[in-house]
Amino acid sequence: MIIIIGIKYKLRMILLECHKSFMIIIINTGIRMLKKEVLDLLNKQVNLENYSSNLYLAMSSWCNAQGLEGSASFLAKHSQEELQHMHKLFNYINETGSQSLIHSVDAPENIFKDIKEVFKLTFQHEQHITNKINELVDFTLEKKDYATFNFLQWYVSEQHEEEALFKSILDKIEIIGLDGRGLHLVDKEIGKLVQGK
Ligand code: OFO
């Protein structure tokens, strides 16, 4: 007699147990796999987070070349955070038994007009990311993928914080200005954000 339990989802483990004339095959099914359209969008987001990390790293490098150490270390740290965002998505996808796909990413800008342009671009980029996250959230609801919808709430809150952070830096630049010692003061203020001072 053969009893097979659970063949609905991805096969993870097969345990054979022989007992006299009975053979029981237990198949541990793992958890639900993602719908293909949801998976495709999540994979796009993985690569977008990777791009964000590279973009902020390129900005950090530019700041460093200008002697703007505070901004350089702030952006390098933020580049690391973007990698964490990428890995969080990557892990979620793989935990569902689906496969996260890593693609090549476009080269980011490397040359900027001034520090104001750098932070204007970061703010615009974060707004773009927020739109992408919102599209994903909408789509998961439409597809009734409540687990992914729930998972994405972390990104919704994170985007709110990031937009507020980059907007506050832009405000500082506006208030202090970049003339005379302004640039030095701005850079110092941005550097303080690394230690959360
Ligand atoms: Fe800066 O944002 Fe990622 O998600």
Instruction: Name all domains of the chain by residue range, CATH numbers in brackets.
Output: 1-31 (no CATH), 34-195 (1.20.1260.10)
pLDDT, residue 197, reads: 54
Neighbour tally for 171: CB within 10 Å: 11
CA distances from 115 to 60, 119, 151, 170 (A): 11, 6, 35, 10
pLDDT, residue 187, reads: 98
Q: Whose alpha carbon is nearest atom 4 of ligand 1?
A: 85
pLDDT, residue 17, reads: 46
Entry pTM: 0.84
Residue 21, pLDDT above cutoff 60: no
Q: Mutual orientation of helices 36-65 and 69-95 as an angle, nearest 10°?
A: 160
Cα–Cα distance for residue pair 143/136, rounded to 1 Å: 10
Residue 34, pLDDT above cutoff 60: yes
Cα–Cα distance for residue pair 53/76, rounded to 1 Å: 9
- CA 90 / ligand 1 centre spacing (Å): 14
Average pLDDT over the chain, rounded to whole? 88
pLDDT, residue 57, reads: 98
- Summarised one tens digit per residue, pLDDT across range 46-95 is 999 999 999 999 999 999 999 999 999 999 999 999 999 999 999 999 99
- Ligand 1 nearest-atom number relative to CA 82: 3
Question: Which residues form the pocket of ligand 1, taking CB atoms under 6 Å from any ligand atom?
Answer: 49, 52, 82, 85, 126, 129, 155, 158, 162
CA dihedral defined by 35, 37, 39, 43, rounded to 10 degrees? 180
Q: What are phi and psi of 32, to 5 degrees?
A: -60, 145
Q: Whose alpha carbon is nearest atom 3 of ligand 1?
A: 82
Residue 119, pLDDT above cutoff 70: yes
Q: List 25's β-bridge partners, or say none.
A: 4, 16
CA dihedral defined by 68, 74, 78, 79, rounded to 10 degrees? 30
- CA 107 / ligand 1 centre spacing (Å): 17
